[in-house]
Structure 1
């Protein structure tokens, strides 16, 4: 995990920085995903908190999300850089990613729980939100079939 603050000579708030990461090693053999009521965009659909531990296979570079579900690993550092001046203190926790009707599909067709379906979408889905006004949401998800190892 990369956390700051760190000093870069001459950098000013709002500057764009070029950072080249040469290698990322997995420090621990697991990852986790969590959600909690009130902190996510689908908070009305998940009125409770849940955390899931996902074992990692470092040799194959996959997360063993559930039996028959493997997520390719692509480690990254999230957001790095000098915060915009208007933000002041900046929260470095990851952004939220949400799923919509894909949840019902994964429950019905793949036998997943709603919790696991929601968390799988947030780590393996290509999610786009087309509308988010007055708690109405248009969420579109593309989930690679390759994450499902069982046919």
Structure 2
């Protein structure tokens, strides 16, 4: 307050650092820390119905913790189901849809080359395996509906 009265204005960070015998970086850091954070729920306008800061900076693509948990549960269930079908069919589905290697899906042609079969055969095996998975899911749903 004294410096403000002496200068007739707000002192600069350099002037504060010199007066307080502190490094400039420390004064800048302290000033930044002293700034009051803005509430994400505070209205931006004068009207009660105006948007909030949270509405403006909201990330529509961000998953909620519930969605993340649900994704992990579904993924775990899918991997468990894949462990209960023919190993070759399972391997083809995992490779085709990128289920074991970070999510990179492959074309029928790429899968065929890896497994030494035609792309048409890959499509047939894929459809058979997907049918098995669908029947497993239906049995689980039927069980849940009756219990």
Give the TM-score band, short-chain normalised: under 0.3
Using the size of structure 1 for normalisation, the TM-score is: 0.21
Using the size of structure 2 for normalisation, the TM-score is: 0.22
Q: Which has the larger radius of gyration?
A: 2
